[in-house]
Amino acid sequence: MSDRCFIPIATKRLRLRAFRAGDEAAFLAYRADPEVSRYQSWDGCTPADAAAFVAEMAAHDADIPGTWYQIAVARKDDDAVLGDLALHTSATDRRQVEIGYSLGSAHQGQGYATEAVAALLDFVFERLGKHRAIAAMDTRNHRSVALVERLGFRREAHFLEHCWFKGAWSDEYAYALLAREWSLRRAA
């Protein structure tokens, strides 16, 4: 399949597009990396997991309440998949979404996540007309914290020992951004 479910978005260096057959190996490479999964809800990935993920996302639509949709972050020059973005539409209020993001270790520290998530926020607020986006992360995930703060998210909560995570209690930050805050930031 193609980009039927998600119209590709071009940024300066990237192309955000639907996952499709052929992306399995690239997805597996970063998804199986313990550095990438360290603060994620999942651990590890097999070739069968990667094949199932790509098949599922290729047939999925974005913005279905109560579901996650993941978007491939591809390099514009050669279409190499560097990571992915995730979008979850609230089951109870479809004007609210949660976002997620992952980049392969080799592609971090180059501004790709900032560029990709900024484009995702344009999509969320301008094209989908959402009111509020949230992001949550383990407080030790400093790169994730820096990313959302760079993009203007407000920290709304610090949950202490909020969940049992990979063998220990972990703290979590909750961040949010309103459509009007994003629009002011873009205008500036």
Ligand X SMILES: CC(C)(COP(=O)(O)OP(=O)(O)OC[C@H]1O[C@@H](n2cnc3c(N)ncnc32)[C@H](O)[C@@H]1OP(=O)(O)O)[C@@H](O)C(=O)NCCC(=O)NCCS
- Sites of contact with ligand X (CB under 6 A): 36, 39-40, 83, 100-103, 108-114, 137, 141, 143-144, 146-147
Nearer to ligand X, 44 or 129 (CB): 44
Q: Are 86 and 99 in contact (CB under 8 A)?
A: yes
Nearer to ligand X, 11 or 108 (CB): 108
User: Which residue, chain included where needed, has tokens 């709304």?
Assistant: 156
Nearer to ligand X, 1 or 122 (CB): 122
DSSP state of 153: P
Shortest Cβ distance from residue 34 to ligand X (Å)? 10
Q: SS3 for 18-50, per residue?
A: ECCCCCHHHHHHHHCCHHHHCCCCCCCCCHHHH
Strands, E, within the chain: which ranges? 9-10, 14-18, 68-75, 81-89, 96-103, 132-138, 154-165, 168-178
Shortest Cβ distance from residue 82 to ligand X (Å)? 9
Shortest Cβ distance from residue 2 to ligand X (Å)? 26
Nearer to ligand X, 38 or 180 (CB): 38
Shortest Cβ distance from residue 163 to ligand X (Å)? 13
Nearer to ligand X, 1 or 134 (CB): 134
Q: Which of 107, 102, 169 is nearest to 138 (CA)?
A: 169
Residue nearest to ligand X (CB): 111
Shortest Cβ distance from residue 39 to ligand X (Å)? 4
